[in-house]
Amino acid sequence: MNTLHVCALGPTRYRDGLALMDALVAARAAGETGDWLLYPDHESVLTVGRNPSDGNLIADPATLARAGIEVVEVPRGGDITWHGPGQLVGYPIVALDRVGRDLHRWLRTLEDAIMGALAQYDLHGVRIAGRTGVWLSEHEKIASIGVAVRRWVGYHGFALNVSNTLDPFAHIHPCGLHDIRMTSMADKLGASAPTLAEMRATVTAELVERLEFAAFHEHVPAEVWALAGIARTADTSKDVPTGVVPGLYGGV
């Protein structure tokens, strides 16, 4: 029970990722499995949390259709954000006893892990008072965080911009904020930016340490889908470029 189970899921349709997360949350709450950290690679999608404000989706439906971007409402805190190829999305499905069932501590732990990972590449991540996520400056955001909690199991999680295009953020006011610019590791580091695989390993190590797991165990995707009792659809295996959701508490 002191092992974090980790899986890089590869190409995963967003709605299938939600179904997988729901199944593992139920299993974790029932004591039928341990704690998990899932890394899906999502298609280009806009997700809207439980606390949206009017006017934060700028693009009209025709523009989104031409860009192949779906809009999905999700059961997490926060407003609207984008996910897609090149972005590191992590779903920690963890019993919150590890953080004393303190939701603010849970959010700060996720932020700390991302800031620790960024520091290994000489990027200084910071917090901005009153705004969840990780920033490089007051108006420049690099990672979004949004979480949900069910029976004291945390789920949803974080989205760190690694090598993804930033263009889709022009369709929205990210996280409902009008005065920010989204950035990425590639935007700041150029050719020296890490790969998604490198950042998965770095962020995993940071979370294992901060949550005081004794070890972590990596699983292949088939094991995780089987554990959840979900048969993957053809769409789930859609060929999405490898590398790419924030989740009731915490804005994105």
CA distances from 178 to 57, 72, 175, 181 (A): 11, 21, 9, 9
Question: What is the SS3 assignment for 101?
Answer: coil
- 201: its two tokens: 């390993």
What letter represents residue 118's amino acid? Answer: L
**Contact, 233 vs 225, CB < 8 A?**
no
Q: How far is CA 97 from the centre of its chain?
A: 21
7 is catalytic: no
φ/ψ of 97, rounded to 5, equals: -60, -25
From the candidates 38, 103, 115, 175, give the one annotated as an active-site residue: 175
φ/ψ of 183, rounded to 5, equals: -135, 180
Question: What is the SS3 assignment for 227?
Answer: helix
**CA atoms 188, 142, 62, 236: torsion sign:** positive
Active-site annotation, residues: 175
